[in-house]
């Protein structure tokens, strides 16, 4: 069997893997990246980007349908319709443009891409089966970087197949179902459930916990729950899924009282989370230390085996593309001899529901549980001029800061367009800003960002617009 060698071998071409390969090549490290499917991984191909593209389609279609009614803006349109095939083609075009850009960047910086499936032989060797079916060969390396990502978590009594789909299939519908049951009210389930609802599908959501978006605090998710009711999405909380009925056209659920019922469904989206992709490619041959299903790493993303590194979803929560990117860049720089550690002050998380949710750092309850004496304040978008001009006055911005020195340790926001506030939130926490820093910074008027300044002022006890 043919064998070649390189300094750095990256397994997986998702956000973490391709960023690591680009940065390593920039630093003069001979680098090979092995990817069996498409560059960009889950995020670019069947996750972050295509879902946001369909969210845009759904928002625009809902807007058109709204204007077909009695709009207070005085805008009138006639009977809007949707060509779902054309919408999916547009979404795919966005994805293709971005993945093509990733390929160009890798080539430009001198990282070699191998299209094939990697199977680990040992900590220095990977066997590659070419995607085109050719003969396998081996690549040996000094450093092995594992960036295999994650997969959708299945339900044992509701396995994927037929009309039971994961988010991957939900993002490329050949046609829209009449009735969709979404199992799981986390961010993936709600984002896609809202998309399908806005496209005219009857959507029902089933969640085992007592409220939607259970990973977020209740005050933050209350506007989302209200929006679901307004959109007409039926939500069943505190319910477990028992499987499909005998005919396969309904989902059987059971509530806390033990009562069962059937929810008619043409299609069922199972969105109960994701898990590290740790099987099917020989990872077990390394005998690495694990944390549950995830590969255990230290602050430099080193595994328990020398010169074997792991990043991104493979290392567990939070499973976020931007976390993987930051880790990938760091590992490349460490291999190049730089001193780095992955110790961010906070990692932003954005939920693209309607309204959007942003979380950076600690929420008030989390700060209290950590034993910190903090103050927190909330500024409602109902008092923000820009929000009113966007017909979106629900939601708020919240800040959490230490009582003794006013150091900001957390931000949360819910409302239309608040995803774009994530950068300001993250920068303030990473740079160690205090409430006075934010309150004393002149914010442009009229913008949603004014709420950031206003909530800092309110936390200091002298709010101006509420």
Report, as residue numbers or ranges, the catalytic residues.
445
Residue in 277, 257, 268, 236 with CA at minimum distance from that of residue 155: 268
Beta carbons within 10 angstroms of residue 75's beta carbon: 11
Residue 31, Cβ density class (10 Å: 0-12 exposed, 13-18 middle, ≥19 buried)? buried
Instruction: Report phi then psi at 154, rounded to 5.
Output: -85, 165
**Distance in angstroms (rounded) separating the CA atoms of residues 362 and 386:** 27
Beta carbons within 10 angstroms of residue 178's beta carbon: 11
**Distance in angstroms (rounded) separating the CA atoms of residues 68 and 296:** 54
The tokens of 275 are what?
């898990």
Beta carbons within 10 angstroms of residue 298's beta carbon: 10
**Distance in angstroms (rounded) separating the CA atoms of residues 38 and 446:** 42
Dihedral sign (CA 18, 20, 26, 32): negative
């Amino acid at each position: 069997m043919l064998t070649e060698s390189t300094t750095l071998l990256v397994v997986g071409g998702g956000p973490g893997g391709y960023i690591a390969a680009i940065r390593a090549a920039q630093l003069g490290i001979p680098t090979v990246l092995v990817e069996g499917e498409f560059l960009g991984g889950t995020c670019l191909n069947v996750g972050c980007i295509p879902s946001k593209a369909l969210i845009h389609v759904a928002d625009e279609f809902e807007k058109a349908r709204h204007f077909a009614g009695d709009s207070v803006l005085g805008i009138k349109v006639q009977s809007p319709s949707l060509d779902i095939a054309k919408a999916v083609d547009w979404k795919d075009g966005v994805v293709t443009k971005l993945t093509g850009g990733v390929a160009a960047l890798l080539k430009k910086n001198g990282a070699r891409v191998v299209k094939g499936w990697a199977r680990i032989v040992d900590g220095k060797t990977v066997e590659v089966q070419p995607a085109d079916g050719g003969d396998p060969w081996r690549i040996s390396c000094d450093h092995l970087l594992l960036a295999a990502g994650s997969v959708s978590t299945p339900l044992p009594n509701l396995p994927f197949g037929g009309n039971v789909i994961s988010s991957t299939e939900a993002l490329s519908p050949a046609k829209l179902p009449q009735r969709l049951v979404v199992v799981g009210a986390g961010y993936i389930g709600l984002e896609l459930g809202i998309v399908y609802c806005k496209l005219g599908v009857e959507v029902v959501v089933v969640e085992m916990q007592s409220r939607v978006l259970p990973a977020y605090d209740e005050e933050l998710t209350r506007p989302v729950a209200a929006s679901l009711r307004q959109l007409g999405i039926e939500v069943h909380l505190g319910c477990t899924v028992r499987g499909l009925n005998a005919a396969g056209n309904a989902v059987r659920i059971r509530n806390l009282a033990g009562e069962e019922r059937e929810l008619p469904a043409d299609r069922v989206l199972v969105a109960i989370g994701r898990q590290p992709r740790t099987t099917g490619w020989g990872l077990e041959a390394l005998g690495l230390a694990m944390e549950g299903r995830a590969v255990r790493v230290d602050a430099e993303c080193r595994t328990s085996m020398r010169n074997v590194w792991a990043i991104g979803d493979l290392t567990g929560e939070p499973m976020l593309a931007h976390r993987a990117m930051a880790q990938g860049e760091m590992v490349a720089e460490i291999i190049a001899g730089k001193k780095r550690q992955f110790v961010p002050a906070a990692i932003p998380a954005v939920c693209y529901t309607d309204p959007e949710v942003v979380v950076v750092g600690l929420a008030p309850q989390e700060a209290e549980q950590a034993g910190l004496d903090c103050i927190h304040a909330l500024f409602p978008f109902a008092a923000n001029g820009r929000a009113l001009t966007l017909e979106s006055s629900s939601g708020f911005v919240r800040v959490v800061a230490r009582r003794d020195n006013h150091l900001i340790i957390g931000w949360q926001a819910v409302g239309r367009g608040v995803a774009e506030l994530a950068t300001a939130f993250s920068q303030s926490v990473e740079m160690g800003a205090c409430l006075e820093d934010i309150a004393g910074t002149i914010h442009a008027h009229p913008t949603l960002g004014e709420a950031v300044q206003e909530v800092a002022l309110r936390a200091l006890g002298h709010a101006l617009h509420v």
